[in-house]
Amino acid sequence: MIQVHLPDRVLDDARERQQVGEASLTEAEALRIASRLRKGIAHLPDKEYREQLHKRLREFAADQDVDLPTPDTRSTFWSYRLEDHPQINMEPGEALYSMHMAAAYTEAQNSITPNTLRYLEGTPGGKALGELHLWDTELQDALELDEKAGLALAYEAWGTLSEKYAAKTENEALFFMAELNPGTVAYQTESRQLRQDGKLDIIQFMYPAPAQKYADLAPETQELLASQAVRAQVHTFSYDENDTKYTPLTKAGHLDLEQLKALPTPEAQRAAVLEVCARVAVMDGPARAAEAESLIEEIKTLRPDHEVTLPSVEDQQWAASLRGRSQESPAAQTPTPAPAVSTHGQYLPGVTVNAKVGPVVPQPLPAKTVAAVAPTHDFLPGVTPQAVSVATQDKSATPATPPQAPPAPEQSRDTGLGV
């Protein structure tokens, strides 16, 4: 079900925002803004000019104020659109873009208690970046950029601001979307930033999970996929590694529903979902190291003959480079390469590996019942695993993926966000 009640006045406000949209710039306004952005670099050769323009906008976005107005302020995030929802009063076939839903809901809550919520575009930094109208084609023309280059500039600037916004988020993070899509900033930047900062548990989805996708799965698996924490890590969309928005995180978080449906038991399906969560946890780094270890141990219990595949060292290094960009901890930037025989990577401290017999814990653990051995994830409902000792083999040495920056957010006033 939807996480909160959305009164008609919120829907009406969202409709009005969507209908009004944002006024296009006049040519004179675009030239005025472009003059500011081009000052001192307009004379440069085209390649250098574009590099300096990107650098200037990145620095501008990174300097903007997206701090919480109060320690208790919650944050909203948005992606794509809301349509055909059975629990709210929408017209047949109506679609409301989630950006407007997040803004309308935020303003409604703040009208009751100021600074209860915030949304990116309403922060001081969001307003300052919005005043540059980077999505406007008039401005892109004034900057002497074609459509592709103009969108890339806007994506990067807003992506930089979004990353900082997520890093500043505390308390509850309300996601106005049904699921994460790997082509969006919500997946590649915002949820990643929250998870790697140890804030997975504050992510709450405001729209219900896409239950129709899961109809052929075991009931336990459907429940698992609808849980908040799993939704905040996995995606079910096919992808192309040649796509400009593809990153190693796209691969790590992908759950193939057809392969999942082919698994014969609820236990096997659960293990497959947990394996994706484990891959994402490894990519998220030190803040989720213990969780990654726990997930892997549960997978081994659920599917004793299955070899767990985790991200390659190269993919983990790519992820660490992103953490190093937003954190000043030198240790976060370059992970120690994993032992060649381990499926665990470097995120399983205290475990030694024998290539023939599998992981061995140096100090024996006290005897426990099966129920006590089972990892306790309050967000992972389902079966009770049976403890079995197994050997594992390394499958982490996948071909390296060239490092690249994560994709930036969807166009803030785009009329084609829906999928």
Angle in degrees, CA 176, 182, 185, rounded to 5: 55
Is the distance from CB of 418 to CB of 98 less than 8 angstroms? no
Do 131 and 255 reside in the same domain of the chain? no
- Whether residue 196 is contained in a domain is answered as no
Question: Measured between alpha carbons, how far is 392 from 351 in angstroms, rounded to an integer?
Answer: 13
Mean pLDDT of the chain: 80
Give the per-residue pLDDT at 266. Answer: 97
Give the per-residue pLDDT at 55. Answer: 97
What residue ranges in 129-205 does DSSP mark as E strands? 173-176, 203-205
Nearest by Cα to 151 from 165, 166, 163, 136: 136
pLDDT in tens, 14-46: 888 888 877 889 999 999 999 999 999 999 999
Give the per-residue pLDDT at 87. Answer: 57
Which residues are CB-contacts of 341 (< 8 A; sequence separation ≥ 6)? 353, 354, 355, 393, 394
| pLDDT-derived band at 389, boundaries 50, 70, 90 | very low
Question: Measured between alpha carbons, how far is 402 from 312 in angstroms, rounded to an integer?
Answer: 12
| pLDDT-derived band at 361, boundaries 50, 70, 90 | very low
Do 244 and 153 reside in the same domain of the chain? no
Question: Measured between alpha carbons, how far is 51 from 295 in angstroms, rounded to an integer?
Answer: 42
Do 168 and 227 reside in the same domain of the chain? no
Choose one of 133, 157, 176: the last residue of a domain.
176
Question: Measured between alpha carbons, how far is 318 from 335 in angstroms, rounded to an integer?
Answer: 10
Give the per-residue pLDDT at 396. Answer: 38
pLDDT in tens, 107-166: 999 999 999 999 999 999 999 999 999 999 999 999 999 999 999 999 899 999 999 999
Q: DSSP 3-state assignment of 139?
A: helix
Do 166 and 221 reside in the same domain of the chain? no
Question: Measured between alpha carbons, how far is 386 from 273 in angstroms, rounded to an integer?
Answer: 18
Q: Which two structure tokens, joined as six digits, stand for 382?
A: 């389902």
- Whether residue 218 is contained in a domain is answered as yes
| pLDDT-derived band at 84, boundaries 50, 70, 90 | low
Give the per-residue pLDDT at 231. Answer: 98
What value does the mean pLDDT take over residues 286-313?
A: 96
What residue ranges in 60-143 does DSSP mark as E strands? 74-78, 81-83, 95-97, 117-118
Is the distance from CB of 79 to CB of 176 less than 8 angstroms? yes
Domain that holds residue 108: 1-176
Environment class of 204 (CB within 10 Å of its CB; exposed 0-12, middle 13-18, buried 19+): middle
- Whether residue 340 is contained in a domain is answered as no
Phi, psi of 340 (to 5 degrees): -65, -25
Lowest mean pLDDT among 57-61, 229-233, 396-400: 396-400
Give the per-residue pLDDT at 327. Answer: 61
Do 168 and 223 reside in the same domain of the chain? no
| pLDDT-derived band at 95, boundaries 50, 70, 90 | confident
| pLDDT-derived band at 333, boundaries 50, 70, 90 | very low
Choose one of 131, 151, 176: the last residue of a domain.
176
Q: DSSP 3-state assignment of 358?
A: strand
Nearest by Cα to 406 from 346, 321, 285, 347: 321
- Whether residue 344 is contained in a domain is answered as no
| pLDDT-derived band at 234, boundaries 50, 70, 90 | very high
Q: Token match 């403890």: residue?
A: 387
Choose one of 176, 192, 227: the last residue of a domain.
176
- Whether residue 373 is contained in a domain is answered as no
Residue 18 CB neighbours (<10 A): 18
Give the per-residue pLDDT at 351. Answer: 31
Q: Which two structure tokens, joined as six digits, stand for 50?
A: 């574009």
| pLDDT-derived band at 372, boundaries 50, 70, 90 | very low
Do 242 and 134 reside in the same domain of the chain? no
Q: How far is CA 231 from CA 28, 176, 225, 234, in A?
A: 45, 12, 6, 6
- Whether residue 358 is contained in a domain is answered as no
Give me the DSSP letters along 214-278.
Answer: GTTS-HHHHHHHTSHHHHTT-B-----TTSTT--HHHHHTB--HHHHHHSSSHHHHHHHHHHHHH
- Whether residue 350 is contained in a domain is answered as no
Do 163 and 114 reside in the same domain of the chain? yes
Do 305 and 217 reside in the same domain of the chain? yes
Assess whether pLDDT exceeds 70 at residue 349. no
Give the per-residue pLDDT at 18. Answer: 85
Instruction: Give the chain's largest Cα–Cα span.
Output: 76
| pLDDT-derived band at 67, boundaries 50, 70, 90 | very high
Q: Which of residues 351 and 304 earns the better pLDDT score?
A: 304
pLDDT in tens, 316-327: 999 999 998 766
What value does the CA radius of gyration of the chain take, rounded to a whole number of Å? 23
Do 35 and 119 reside in the same domain of the chain? yes
- Whether residue 234 is contained in a domain is answered as yes
| pLDDT-derived band at 366, boundaries 50, 70, 90 | very low
Do 269 and 319 reside in the same domain of the chain? yes
Do 136 and 222 reside in the same domain of the chain? no
Do 156 and 232 reside in the same domain of the chain? no
- What is the count of structural domains for the chain? 2
| pLDDT-derived band at 5, boundaries 50, 70, 90 | low
